[in-house]
């Protein structure tokens, strides 16, 4: 037996016990005649003491203990002289009677403690050392807990966890596929699933009416901060359901997680908001409703009054910063720079301070009377600051939405310990890509249109709403799904609309449409982003901390050095060697 207890287990009640512990030396302090060492495992830290007077040989051995040496000790639990109230084992120490050095360690490249001096890159290269640190261990424990809660909750509702294959054919979720060459079929490739979408629908056709899977998905997207090329979803599908059934089931799951994992005490049903309302009031389809500062529009109030920027804009609207009138010119200029960044890309910001006088950056174009109307439209109080953007509706609302979140962060209005979930509903079925002038499925091509909008499919596709829904938490989309098409003809029409020829649709998704001809039940589902959900429950934005072995922002695994090149003979074997 290597150990009788873990390093997080011993308490004052154990004083006098003989124990065996094993773990890593986090640090040691050599005093005259006595050495203190912190012994760490994933359960905690226990202080060891070595006393020269008791055993000079062990003391000499202990002197050699370096950071991260792996040891096993036997000894006696004693009450500590000076107690450490910061850790649960802080009232005791173990006086070591036998010491076995199980393995030595090179000096680690960064300190393995709660706070570390290692930079991101170094820690990613030595991820196995970073993972010894308790913040990361706690993150992975949280991840495990959430996974267990999800499995228990859904299993209790009769969901079955069923695995679907990784070596498949393209599933359209709007990203590029990662592909795997087939050695046995030269020139042929598997695609890794962007999601198990088609398989879970086929499981519904097969009669497994409640399916879930905590599953890896792969999307070859352009690099964006905090995106992982492989990530985990809680993927779910149900048959014989309507949208309402799905919303209630997964609202139940989300509430359960919020209440058991973070004790958020959420009792009320989640608010629901249409896509239209979200865009109008928050400028984004995943609103953070922990704070107000919602958008208002003043297009008709301010247009054609001689200010060319407003006159030429399709949309003029703004947000109101409570008590923002005391912002300095410099602070406002910073906000102007913020919205002019290429990522946001509007030309500027008009401001107005609601003080005794209504001072604005466009006073020469608008009378005090007119500016008073803005204040009313914004529902502003004295002391508030109005920030106004004029552009196309799309760009202006998006910019205001971003500015709102930016100010929310700056003003500390986004408390990570507060949880505000909601549903966003009634998404458009299709969106048009202006460049190619083609329609794309906003969710994916299997999403069903609202029955009452089906007649618009041919005449006005942009107006058709989908039976699709997103679950949003604190400004993050943590889940999305839809009621599916289960009729072959409607599915074929959808592929037509999306610009597939009949042959292309047949080649790519013929298997699904064929399945629809053999008694497909009505069905729908949802997938929750597991990494992101865990990160939010852990009160953090960075999902990498919640994944044991993540890729960096450039999609690389620095520890194993992947992706890497293949040797010629392997390329030959895969028929990938392109000579000349
Ligand atoms: N397959 C979808 C996704 O990955 C989710 C769903 O429609 O269930 O976003």
Q: What is the DSSP string of 85-120?
A: TTSTTTTEEEEEEEEEEEE--PPPSS--SSS----H
The preferred substitution site among 170, 197, 285, 427 for testing ligand 1, maximizing ligand atoms within 8 Å of CB, is: 197
Contact 261, 539 (CB under 8 A): no
Residues ≥6 apart with Cβ < 8 Å to 171: 191, 193, 194, 195, 196, 197, 198
**Residue 508 CA, ligand 1 centroid: distance in Å:** 18
Nearest C-alpha neighbor of 533 from the set 257, 275, 135: 257
Q: Is the CB of 482 under 6 A from ligand 1?
A: yes
Residue 6 has which token pair? 């873990």
Which phi and psi (to 5°) does residue 107 adopt? Answer: -65, 125
Q: How many CA atoms lie within 13 A of 256 on its CB side?
A: 18
**Residue 149 CA, ligand 1 centroid: distance in Å:** 21
Look up residue 160 and give its DSSP letter: E
Q: Is the CB of 481 under 6 A from ligand 1?
A: yes
Q: Is the CB of 527 under 6 A from ligand 1?
A: yes
**Residue 187 CA, ligand 1 centroid: distance in Å:** 30
**Residue 481 CA, ligand 1 centroid: distance in Å:** 5
Give the 3-state secondary structure of residue 530. helix
Q: What is the pLDDT of residue 579?
A: 67
Query: What's the whole-model pTM score?
Result: 0.93
Nearest C-alpha neighbor of 201 from the set 567, 448, 556, 547: 448
**Residue 94 CA, ligand 1 centroid: distance in Å:** 53
Nearest CA owner, ligand 1 atom 8: 526
Sketch out the chain's domains with CATH numbers. Answer: 12-103 (2.40.50.140), 137-272+422-546 (3.30.930.10), 291-413 (3.30.1360.30)
Contact 559, 269 (CB under 8 A): no
Residue reference for tokens 């779910």: 236
String of b and e for 195-228 (b: at least 16 CB within 10 Å)? Answer: bbbbbbbbbbbeebbbbbbbbebbbeeeeeeeeb
Separation CA 449–CA 467 (nearest Å): 6
Q: What is the pLDDT of residue 390?
A: 97
Q: Is the CB of 480 under 6 A from ligand 1?
A: yes
Q: What is the dihedral of CA 139, 547, 530, 222, to 10 degrees?
A: 140
**Residue 18 CA, ligand 1 centroid: distance in Å:** 55
**Residue 202 CA, ligand 1 centroid: distance in Å:** 14
**Residue 178 CA, ligand 1 centroid: distance in Å:** 17
Residue reference for tokens 């949309």: 315
Q: Is the CB of 528 under 6 A from ligand 1?
A: no
**Residue 193 CA, ligand 1 centroid: distance in Å:** 11
Q: What is the pLDDT of residue 173?
A: 85
Q: Is the CB of 447 under 6 A from ligand 1?
A: no
Q: How many CA atoms lie within 13 A of 368 on its CB side?
A: 6
The preferred substitution site among 443, 469, 529 for testing ligand 1, maximizing ligand atoms within 8 Å of CB, is: 443
Strand pairing partners for 35?
Answer: 30, 50
**DSSP H helix total and E strand total for the chain:** 17, 22
| pLDDT tens, N- to C-terminus, the chain (580 residues) | 999 999 999 999 999 999 999 999 999 999 999 999 999 999 999 999 999 999 999 999 999 999 999 999 999 999 999 999 999 999 999 999 999 999 999 999 999 999 999 999 999 999 999 999 999 999 999 999 999 999 999 999 999 999 999 999 987 888 999 999 999 999 999 999 999 999 999 999 999 999 999 999 999 988 777 789 999 999 999 999 999 999 999 999 999 999 999 989 898 999 999 999 999 999 999 999 999 999 999 999 999 999 999 999 999 999 999 999 999 999 999 999 999 999 998 999 999 999 888 999 999 999 999 999 999 999 999 999 999 999 999 999 999 999 999 999 999 999 988 999 999 999 999 999 888 889 999 999 999 999 999 999 989 999 999 999 999 999 999 999 999 999 999 999 999 999 999 999 999 999 999 999 999 999 999 999 999 999 999 988 889 999 999 999 899 999 999 999 999 999 999 999 876 5
Separation CA 255–CA 249 (nearest Å): 10
Nearest CA owner, ligand 1 atom 3: 527
Q: Is the CB of 198 under 6 A from ligand 1?
A: no
Residue 497 CB: number of other CB atoms within 10 A? 19
From residue 281, give the alpha-carbon distance in Å to each of 131, 288, 303, 347, 397: 42, 11, 20, 21, 9
User: Which numbered atom of ligand 1 lies nearest the CA of 526?
Assistant: 8
């Amino acid at each position: 037996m290597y150990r009788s207890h873990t390093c997080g287990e011993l308490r004052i009640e154990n004083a006098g016990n003989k124990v065996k512990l094993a773990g890593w030396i986090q640090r040691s302090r050599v005093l005259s005649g006595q050495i203190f060492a912190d012994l760490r495992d994933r359960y905690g830290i226990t202080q060891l003491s070595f006393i020269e007077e008791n055993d000079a040989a062990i003391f000499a051995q202990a002197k050699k203990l370096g950071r991260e040496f792996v040891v096993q000790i036997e000894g006696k639990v004693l009450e500590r002289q000076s107690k450490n109230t910061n850790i649960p084992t802080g009232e005791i120490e173990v006086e070591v009677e036998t010491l076995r050095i199980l393995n030595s360690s090179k000096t680690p490249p960064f300190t393995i403690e709660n706070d570390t001096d290692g930079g991101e890159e170094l820690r990613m290269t030595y991820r196995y050392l970073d993972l010894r640190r308790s913040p990361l261990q706690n993150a992975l424990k949280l991840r495990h807990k959430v996974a267990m809660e999800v499995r228990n909750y859904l299993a209790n509702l009769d969901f079955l966890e069923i695995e679907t294959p990784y070596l498949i054919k393209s599933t359209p979720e709007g990203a590029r596929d990662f592909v795997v060459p087939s050695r046995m079929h030269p020139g042929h490739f598997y695609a890794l699933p962007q999601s198990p979408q088609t398989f879970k629908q086929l499981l519904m056709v097969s009669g497994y009416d409640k399916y879930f899977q905590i599953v890896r998905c792969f999307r070859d997207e352009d690099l964006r901060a905090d995106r992982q090329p492989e990530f985990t979803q809680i993927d779910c599908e149900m048959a014989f359901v309507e949208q309402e059934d799905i919303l209630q089931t997964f609202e139940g799951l989300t509430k359960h997680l919020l209440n058991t994992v973070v004790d958020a005490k959420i009792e009320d049903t989640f608010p629901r908001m249409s896509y239209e309302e979200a865009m109008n009031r928050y400028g984004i389809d995943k609103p953070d409703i922990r704070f107000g500062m919602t958008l208002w529009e003043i297009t008709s109030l301010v247009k054609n009054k001689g200010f060319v920027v407003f006159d030429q804009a399709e949309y003029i609207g703004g947000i109101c910063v409570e008590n923002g009138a005391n912002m300095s010119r410099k602070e406002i200029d910073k906000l102007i720079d913020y919205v002019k960044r290429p990522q946001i890309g509007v030309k500027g910001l008009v401001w107005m301070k609601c003080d005794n006088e209504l001072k604005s950056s466009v006073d020469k174009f608008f009378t005090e009377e007119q500016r008073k109307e803005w204040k009313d439209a914004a529902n502003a109080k004295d002391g508030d600051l109005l920030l106004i953007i004029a552009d196309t509706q799309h760009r202006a609302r998006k910019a205001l939405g971003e500015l709102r979140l930016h100010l929310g962060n700056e003003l500390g209005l986004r408390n990570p310990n507060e949880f505000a979930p909601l549903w966003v509903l009634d998404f458009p079925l299709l969106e048009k890509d202006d460049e190619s002038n083609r329609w794309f499925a906003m969710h994916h091509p299997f999403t069903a249109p609202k029955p009452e909008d089906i007649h618009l499919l041919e005449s006005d596709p942009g107006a058709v709403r989908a039976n699709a829904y997103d679950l949003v938490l604190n400004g993050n989309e943590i889940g999305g799904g839809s009621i599916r098409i289960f009729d072959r003809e409607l599915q074929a029409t959808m592929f037509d609309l999306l610009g597939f020829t009949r042959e292309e649709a047949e080649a790519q998704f013929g298997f699904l449409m064929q399945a629809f001809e053999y008694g497909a039940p009505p069905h729908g589902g949802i997938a929750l982003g597991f990494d992101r959900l865990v990160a939010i429950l852990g009160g953090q934005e960075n999902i990498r901390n919640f994944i044991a072995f993540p890729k960096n922002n450039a999609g690389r695994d620095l520890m194993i050095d992947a992706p890497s090149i293949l040797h010629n003979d392997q390329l030959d074997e895969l028929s990938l060697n392109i000579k000349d």
